[in-house]
Chains A and B, each alone.
Chain A
Amino acid sequence: MQAATRTAKKLTLVAIAMFGFGYALVPLYDVFCDITGINGKTGEISQAEADSATVDTNRLITVEFDTNVNSALPWKFIAAEYKMKVHPGEVAEAVFIAENQSDTAIAGRAVPSVAPAKASLFFNKTECFCFTRQVLEPGERKEMVVRFVVDSDLPEKISTMTLSYTFFDALDGEEETVTANTIGANNSKG
């Protein structure tokens, strides 16, 4: 019976380890998305790197902007221009406008996504309103900027890419970055 107990103990440890593995899948998933550039994980470079990039004036890339608002968020969210043409290596700036149409201050968070997925690793942002939470006072209208550079190594066959943002309700809270707490409250409301 001793041997059986030992086997059972070992197997229990395996089961506990697999429970942990379930949680380990969460950071692994993020790392995987970062490496492959899927799931809205675009490239990110510093301003200095962006300024020193060589501009390829022979190519012109069409960048389209798509804006969405989650139904739980009473905001209006549009792009100032829905389409622009940029040279690879050139620092470009797109302006988005968000408006809080409710009578309470609300914090929102924009989640980005790039299509085609292959292009996302070549889409480098130096500044984005999606990096932080955005708080809008009642009725406030705010212009927000995305500064980006399309990498010159972008595969030849890609001539158009779409940058899409969806604004979600991040709910109130003083912190600059979204903490988990704000989200739970959101859920229990719905």
Chain B
Amino acid sequence: MSEAVIHDHDSHDDHHDHKPTGIGRWLFSTNHKDIGTMYLVFALIMFFIGGAMAMVIRLELFQPGMQYVDPQFFNSMTTVHALVMIFGALMPAGVGLANWMIPIMIGAPDMAMPRMNNMSFWILPFAFTLLLSTFFMAGGAPAGGWTMYPPLVLQLDHGFPFLIFAVHFLGISSIMGAINIIATVFNMRAPGMTFMRLPLFVWTWIITAFLLIASMPVLAGAVTMLLTDKYFGTAFFNAAGGGDPVMFQHVFWFFGHPEVYILVLPSFGVISQIIPTFSRKPLFGYASMVYATASIAFLSFFVWAHHMFTVGMPLTGELFFMYATMSIAVPTGVKIFNWMATMWKGAMTFETPMLFAIGVLFMFSIGGFSGLMMGITPVDFQYHDTYFIVAHFHYVIVPGIIFGIIGGVYFWLPKWTGHMYDETLGKWHFWLSTISVNILFFPMHFVGLAGMPRRIPDYNVQFTDWNQIISLGGFAFGLSQLIFVWVIIKCVRGGEKATDQVWEGAHGLEWTLPSPPPFHSFTTPPQVTDATAHS
């Protein structure tokens, strides 16, 4: 399917201007639009691979007792599902949107480091080949959870170094991508495109890029310590050698919490573009949006231990991390209210991108509220490692982040392809996804509160009814995503011709280019004024 997408894209872009042909166009590409497309297609493929693993998990959990897979494989499914979705689907999708949109949003001819851009993409398929090849190795794929806690992760057999090096490669890829984005925005803005005139999507990506540069190397360090612990005789995490396994959790979550915002901020950026467009009003509180995003990013480095309240921290530590966690709700609340104020008294229409953006607003907030619940230390002891936490982070990730990315794809698809997508199918996709995602994740709160532990292939029979509902929701959600693929393929192949502006309420440099934009755009930088700046 992905092949079809690539080739069709190729064929109808041909007459615009000169570009390389054949497979070389993609392998050696230094064009931000092509690399953006490759990132997005790669992310979509990984979304379905990770999704297939989720389907295995839900199939096994349809009934209590062991049905289809053995426990070790089930554990591999939960572990690799997470790794594939986070590092293979969400992050590359975000980088793909950044690659496509940032240069044409700031009036730059391309990314600052086009060759590095090519490399950061092409590392990904190799990294995932390493990771997914572990399924065929002695000892199987990683099964100790995506957080790779020692000593459990050290029991992984031949797959262990593959896991570690895959994480290294993914880290290098995303750090290079982040450096590229910052270098581009800092140095290649069109005349008049001041920082406070940047579209909010660009702002969220600058901040995300700084988070990546600050946190991914720490993860690289942590997994390197795991590697040397296993093979080179160090004892960072081994009590017998004076190390401490709990320290891994601290180092990991020092990366892990900023990572949460690395995933979500680009999605916030996307909906900050969509909501003003379909409300036909400028974004409410632009400056406060920028500062709120920066505050969220800054605070994200001081809350990591809320992932590990139950390890036996001193009371002072638990209180500090509880208050720090709660304080993140303030800038997040600013953003949510700004989006609502943007819609207030706007001339709203509800095309598919807007539906997804509003979906994010509603359902991300549900995930945000359950997050606040778990941020309260004493009650977290009940929620820890149950399906409640699974419900929480899936609410922020699936309808929070993935809906944002999907909304962005619908929003910019006419710009990318030059054709309008099928609005009816888009609406079907939205409503089926929204209904099924709630059937899938909402009951997880209930079984979690009732005590069903996460990452276990079997459960007490009392949880059967809810789990069957959850599984049905899961299958429905998985199938609904096929509509998305259909819409994309249909849109790439043809459809109603899109105008340059595409959406009536759209403002910004990207909408001044033809749809699809020429292979090389803004070779002479445009002059930006207040009138032509962000929507």
Contacts and interface: CB of A to CB of B under 8 A. Distances in A.
A54 interface: no
Nearest to B239: A111
Interface in B207-249: 213-222, 225, 229-236, 238-244, 246-247
A180 B235 contact: yes
Contacts of B116: 8
The B interface, classified by DSSP as helix, strand, loop or mixed, is: helix
Interface stretch (A11-19, A58-66, A88-96, A152-160): A11-19
Contacts of A15: 175, 179, 213, 216-217
A29 B243 CA distance: 10
A45 interface: no
A118 B242 CA distance: 22
A26 B233 contact: no
A183 interface: yes
A184 B233 contact: yes
A168 interface: yes
Contacts of B251: 22, 25-26
A170 interface: yes
Contacts of A168: 238-240
Contacts of A182: 233, 241
A181 B233 contact: yes
B476 interface: no
Contacts of A186: 238, 240
Given A4-B113, A22-B222, A22-B251, A178 B175 contact: no
A7 B183 contact: yes
B213 A187 contact: no
Nearest to A7: B183
Given A8-B179, A14-B213, A180 B112 contact: no
Given A184-B233, A184-B234, A187-B154, A70 B179 contact: no
Interface string B181-207: 011101110000000000000000000
B179 A11 contact: yes
Given A12-B179, A187-B230, A3 B238 contact: no
- Choose among B179, B229, B236 the residue with the greatest number of A CB atoms under 10 Å from its CB: B179
Interface string B8-43: 000000000000000000000000000000000000
A109 interface: yes
Given A4-B187, A184-B229, A178 B240 contact: yes
Contacts of B213: 11, 14-15, 18
